[in-house]
Amino acid sequence: MRTIFACLFVATLLQNVLFAEAAPWEVSVDANVTATLNTYSDSWSGDETGSFSWASQLILLLNRQMSKHYRLENTLKLGFGQSKLQDEETEDWSDFQVSTDLIDFETIDKFTFGGFVDPYIAGRLQTTFMDASPDENPKVKYVNPLIFSESFGISRNLVKNDNQLLSTRLGGAAYQRVNRKIETTNDGGIELVTKYNANTKNNTVSYSLFLNLYQALFSSEDETVDTWKTIDVDWQNNLTMNITKYLMVNYMFQLLYDRDISEKARARQTLSLGITFKYTNQKAEEKED
């Protein structure tokens, strides 16, 4: 324990010395909780059944210009929700089933030399709170499977102003897909990532887009399996409209395509009304600008 605290102390000291003139941390927090309940009386005609669902979401941005030529950007996305249905005949409610489950953390080191593009190194972890693997193993119930990725290449901000930010990056990437019930597979290839964020001047309406295209060039999977050769697509869209300071309407659409999981594209969308909380330290952003 003393060794751990000593290492943390030394790391903090080195950071303070190396980045003594670093700009303040830029912090942005966007959290919301939504719930939906549908019930029907016995006299209602048709096959309608009651349902209840809830979902929570957290998006945390933690960025900092560590020096003139080095910028650190961290993004954490958390989501969890459950739903249950009422039986049409017995009117009994089912157990809660997981409907939303996400842990997504990405860290990017950008080297801002003032050129046309900026070199970068990035790392990402994707997983779920509950085990999402179809294989049964009572010993593994949480945080499985895990997808680690490391990438490097060039990046550029195509549009950047007070209300919009469009950035893209292109480079090589390596993936480790860890299923603690079965095995770990490795592959590498080319990755293109595009991010877009926009909001109105009064922040009443905000929109974010995330597009990840990955083409594997080699894989550790069995030679008889060739599904890894197709391009993987992760396209996320999120639209938020604030009715009041703490009340919002949110629409989310995601399209996934990965032939290792399914031959068809997978899509999901949610429209929800709930309570929201947002925080941004504007002073840090103004100082950087």
CATH number of the domain within which 115 lies: 2.40.230
* Per-residue confidence (pLDDT) for residue 42, from 0 to 100: 61
8 domain residue, yes or no: no
Question: Is the pLDDT confidence value at 2 over 50?
Answer: no
Tokens of 87: 């039986």
Collect all residues with Cβ–Cβ distance below 8 Å to 150 and sequence separation of at least 6.
121, 122, 123, 124, 173, 174
The whole-angstrom separation of Cα 111 and Cα 120 is: 6
Question: Is the pLDDT confidence value at 236 over 50?
Answer: yes
Strand pairing category for 97-110 and 70-85: antiparallel
7 domain residue, yes or no: no
142 domain residue, yes or no: yes
pLDDT tens string 108-152:
999 988 889 999 999 999 999 998 776 666 677 889 889 999 999
Give the global pTM: 0.83
Which structural domain, as residue segments, surrounds residue 107? 24-288
Amino acid symbol at 245: K
Cα angle: 182, vertex 77, 27; to 5 degrees: 145
* Per-residue confidence (pLDDT) for residue 20, from 0 to 100: 57
Q: Between these two residues, 269 and 61, which has the higher pLDDT value?
A: 61
267 domain residue, yes or no: yes
pLDDT tens string 178-208:
988 788 899 999 999 999 999 998 889 999 9
123 domain residue, yes or no: yes
241 domain residue, yes or no: yes
17 domain residue, yes or no: no
128 domain residue, yes or no: yes
Per the structure, how many domains does the chain have?
1
